[in-house]
Amino acid sequence: DGGITQSPKYLFRKEGQNVTLSCEQNLNHDAMYWYRQDPGQGLRLIYYSQIVNDFQKGDIAEGYSVSREKKESFPLTVTSAQKNPTAFYLCAIQTDRDTEAFFGQGTRLTVV
């Protein structure tokens, strides 16, 4: 089955903890993206990676970190420095600007 897999679907974090969200793809795309969705604010770009071992900050990177050790994997860590981490997180791949982005099913993170 081809596609993008995000896990877990739901995640609960205690204040002060780091948590890592998984994003795996088997579509052999180079570019991968992490977006955050808050109610009424649409999607905002956190980090993106064009190739293995390289990644760039998006519009709201503070309090987050990523790695890209393998082409098929782009995990996102929400650190304790992120003051308001409760949100819906979506991973995506996109080949070029003229192609549609494919999204995973998302991870809903809640701070308890």
Partner 1 sequence: AQKVTQAQTEISVVEKEDVTLDCVYETRDTTYYLFWYKQPPSGELVFLIRRNSFDEQNEISGRYSWNFQKSTSSFNFTITASQVVDSAVYFCALSEAGRNTDKLIFGTGTRLQVFP
52 lies in the binding site for partner 1 (CB under 8 A): no
Which span sits near partner 1 by CB under 8 A: 15-23, 34-42, 65-73, 76-84?
34-42
Which span sits near partner 1 by CB under 8 A: 11-19, 62-70, 74-82, 100-108?
100-108
69 lies in the binding site for partner 1 (CB under 8 A): no
61 lies in the binding site for partner 1 (CB under 8 A): no
* Helix (H), strand (E), coil (C) string for the chain: CCCEEEECCEEEECCCCCEEEEEEECCCCCCEEEEEECCCCCEEEEEEECCCCCCEECCCCCCEEECCCECCECCEEECCCCCCCCEEEEEEECCCCCCCCEECCCEEEEEC
Using CB under 8 A, list all residues that contact partner 1: 31, 33, 35, 40-45, 48, 50, 56, 58, 88, 90, 92, 94, 96-106, 108
